[in-house]
Amino acid sequence: MTTPPALQHLGVQTDATGGEIRVYSSAADGIDVLIYDTENHDHVRERVSLVKGHGDVWSAHSPHLVIGAEYTLQAWGPVTAHNSFDAEALLIDPYARGVVHRGTQWRASVVDDSFDWGQVTKPNIDLDHTVLYEAHVRGLTKMHPQLPLELRGTYAGLGHEVMTRYLTELGVTSVELLPVHQFVSEQFLLEQGAVNYWGYNTLNFFSPHSAYATKAARAEGSSAILREFKQMVKNLHAAGIEVILDVVYNHTAEEGQGGPRLSLRGLDNGAYYRQDAAGTYIDTTGCGNSVNTAHPAAAQLILDSLRYWAQECQVDGFRFDLAAELGRDAHHEFQQDHPLLVAMQNDPIIGQTKLIAEPWDVGMGGWQTGNFAPGWREWNDRYRDRIRNFWLPDIAQARNTGIAPTGVGGFAMRLAGSSNTFSDERGPIASVNFITAHDGFTLADLTTFNDKHNIGNGEDNNDGSSENRSFNHGVEGPTEDSAIAQTRRRTMRNLMGTLLLSAGIPMITAGDEHGRTQHGNNNAYCHDSPLTWVNWELQPWQEDLLATTKYLTKLRREYPALRPVRFGRFGETVPSASQVEWYNTQGENMEQEDWEDPHNRTLQYVAASTPEKEEFNRILMIIHGTEQATDVIVPSHPGVTSYEPLWFSPHPAPREIPGSLRPGETFKINGTSILLYNAL
């Protein structure tokens, strides 16, 4: 996808004589820019009419379009089914690098984008070493007792050494931040006195969300907010941590027809939003509108935004919310080779970043897990569902009926990288493995609640998923029963252990590493409160879980057999793959009946690395997915003389485990467990 020359350099470009503004609209009859006085913000200092030029781009120059200037647009045009002009509406420049809120009005702001990056560069973490950490800028830092009060809940707080040290010690390599593009709360939330906490309601694709800046930066203005964001990125990079942005290009805060006219709708509704022949929005997002990525102007807006964040702000990658919508063509059907998706990969700047798809939307044919092109990573919901099933509802059913509904086959497929979902060409590192995310139960709540408890959301508990694949272990909610509490914590370790020992790219949700709870709320998008903020005052069992998570990330770093880049092939040596052998409880190779037998919930997994850059290593992992005690004979694997214990999930915290096992030795496993050994 080649940028049409006319669509280059949109927005405001400053020079020694002021600034030029360039705005796209194929439908407008006229566009004015209103530039406000820097002292009296209510006073329009100058109104300039833009002139339509080549490629439907309107432009004008003004000596008052200087750094710090605030401005809005007014556009008017014909009344048609596809247009939504209002000559009185004050609109935001879609390419504004800063936005400010004056009373009930949003304005664009010209920013100073200069910044000294010094010698700090992007960490460029290899995909197989990547450990993602999904976090909310405000929620992660708002309650941290070691941060200065004025930095809590801010970009500066996340970039503070207290946080960079914590993230480094935790062993994550990349923070994946919930939306930081300037966003607003939906109209229905504002009417209820609530807010959009998560941020999936974008107002502008170029400016950092101002509420996450410190009070001092907000007082200084848009340029200071941008500097604070960049300083956060610089500090994280200096600590070796990447910054991935969760970006929402699939819809905007203008909502459905009849929603607010803020920017794109008032400039060229027909170009920027998907509509049918009658002008009715085609909504594949569930949010009222869908950005029309089949139109060159809309696609270019997204590409320019990505390039800006990757180059100007040094961001390392992007997680695309409802990414299937971005790949829909003019007929609103998903295409793997959609020009926008291809252009992202081929762009010399965007293509060097990590591109992660949430591979679905809510339209027809919207579930596309596994169907993005090579070079893309995808959130793997099949992994999430299978791993949850294995450790939670399957165990619940086994308690009730004496037998789990499935055996180990599906679990093993996910553990080894989901080769039934991703092609050989893409390999296991196409899969972003996750068990929890911002939406849904936390890790602790998966083990504590069978049902959602969303009454506080104001929707009579009708919002949020009812399919949680969770298990409360006998009591709904908190309990004083120590046996249930211990079993829940063991299950948390099994879930975290599976996540960090699986092939693929793991993603931890902030707070799960120490058992954060949302008290059963699985859709806390409208709560900006201690319910959603990470609580850093930890109980002893939480300290143990945190130590376990740190130890698991350490094992993942040290044992490349746990993180293959490619899928192995039977009878071949594939560089950077893991050669895998599967064994049953008798230490014998798994047969078809072993895979299909629902009674068989115990699996032995020997994986040997085929290194290109690292030393050879080999591990034995034993998965025991039943609460019944079982005798296991460790396999006699070629070249292995002993199995040295590394980590046992029944232990509340990591500890040295004495002794080792010999091939052919028998031992008993009690209760659901993961046992990891170094195969020597």
Element counts in the chain: helices (H) and strands (E): 17, 24
Are 678 and 619 contacting, i.e. CB atoms less than 8 angstroms apart?
yes
Residue 190 CB-half CA count within 13 A:
8
- For the stretch 81-108, what's the b/e string if a residue is b when 16 or more beta carbons lie within 10 angstroms of its beta carbon? ebbbbeeebbbbbbbbbbbbeeeeebbb
Burial group, residue 492, by CB count within 10 angstroms (0-12, 13-18, 19+): buried
Q: Rounded to whole angstroms, how far apart are CA atoms 390 and 411?
A: 7
Strands 51-52 and 602-609, how do they pair? unpaired
Token reading at 564: 């293959």
CA 318/CA 326 separation, integer angstroms:
13
The answer to whether the Cα torsion of 573, 577, 579, 584 is positive or negative is negative
Q: Which of 358, 361, 445, 594 is catalytic?
A: 358
Cα–Cα distance for residue pair 109/98, rounded to 1 Å: 5
Q: Name the strands in the sheet holding 105-109, side by side, starting at the edge strand that comes first in the sequence.
A: 44-49, 30-36, 70-76, 105-109, 98-102
Torsion over CA of 508, 536, 452 and 465, rounded to 10 degrees?
-30
SS3 state of residue 203: coil
SS3 455: helix
Q: Identify the H or E element spanning 319.
A: strand 317-320
495, 423 Cβ separation under 8 angstroms: no
Report the SS3 class of residue 133.
Answer: strand
b or e along 213-248 (b: 16 or more beta carbons within 10 Å of the residue's beta carbon)?
A: bbeebbeebbbbbbbbbbbbbbbbbbbebbbbbbbb
Catalytic one among 70, 176, 254, 321? 321
The C-alpha atoms of residue 153 and residue 530 are separated, in whole angstroms, by 12
Give the Cα separation of 23 and 51 in Å (integer). 10
Q: Are 111 and 65 in contact (CB under 8 A)?
A: no
Pairing relation of β-strands 673-679 and 618-624? antiparallel
Exposure string over 448-481, b if 16+ CB within 10 A, otherwise e: bbbebbbebbeeebeebeeebbbbbbeeeeeeee
Active site residue 321: yes
**CA–CA dist 131, 167 (Å, integer):** 11
3-state helix, strand, coil in the chain (%, to 5): 30, 20, 50
- SS3 at position 649: coil
d(CA 211, CA 209): 6
Q: Is 378 a catalytic residue?
A: no
Residue 534 DSSP label: P
Half-sphere CA count of 245, side-chain side, radius 13 A: 29
Is residue 157 helix, strand or coil?
helix
Which residues are part of the catalytic machinery? 321, 358
